[in-house]
Amino acid sequence: MNTETNSYRDNLKELRTNLGTMLPKEALDVFDKDAEDLQLRHESILPLQVGDKAPDFSLSNATGKTVRLYDLLKMSSVVLTFYRGSWCPYCNLQLALYQKSLYEIHALDATLVAISPQTPDESLTIAEKNKLNFEVLSDNGNTVARMYTTVFKNADAPVNTMTALGFDFDAHYSDDSRELPIPAVFVIEKDGTVSFAKAEGGDYRNRVEVSEIINALK
């Protein structure tokens, strides 16, 4: 696949247009202000940098099976992406685009793994909805996320706006902390070394392009 046509930024324009027709302007304004505030608040995001040793972990996948990072690394390098949840349209777009490039990722001897604090049931929902053929893991309490990226508490304004729109934010998670990871992507080599680490800032509307991942794997 030509990753040029798989650009998150290009697809984001269409998503924004769709959100503009689906959501009341007042609601979209609340979400946009939240994203802008997060961008200003979080400057240093990744505790894990290129050259660092990736912390090992074991998490449940969408069907409840335990997946261990270092077991995966015995077979291939790993592309690790942290996302917020299946309710987040930007996460859905990002994962769908990564799915489109999954063949190319596999061809470069890498396994793609996505992690969120959602329950396995919610992970299964996102995997089925987006027809994802990679592991979607549940990081209850953001235990793993804290070792890789920044975790923050979702503000009242976006949660209350979601509730007013009929979305139950808390139903997606097994705790009531309302904590979320800042989206980030890592490439981990077979020896456990991080060779690529990137977050596009606190503004969750921006995501790491799949072309950058492909280039890192090459």
pLDDT one-digit tens code per residue, 61-94: 988 899 999 999 999 999 999 999 888 899 999 9
Residue 2's pLDDT is what? 41
Residue 210's pLDDT band (cuts 50, 70, 90): very high
Amino acid in the structure at residue 137: L
Give the chain's end-to-end CA distance (angstroms, integer). 15
Q: Which two tokens stand for residue 87?
A: 């309710």
**148-175, pLDDT tens digit by residue?**
999 988 877 877 787 888 887 777 777 7
For residue range 93-115, list pLDDT tens digits in order: 999 999 999 999 999 999 999 99
Chain centroid to Cα 148, Å, comes to 12
Q: Radius of gyration over alpha carbons of the chain, in Å?
A: 16
Please state the pTM of the whole predicted model: 0.88
Amino acid at 106: H
Asked whether residue 1 carries a pLDDT value surpassing 60, the answer given is no
How many residues are listed for the chain in this entry?
Answer: 218
CA 187 to chain centre: 14
Report the distance separating Cα 118 and Cα 174, nearest Å: 7
Which residues lie across from 193 on neighbouring strands? 53
Mean pLDDT computed over every residue of the chain? 89
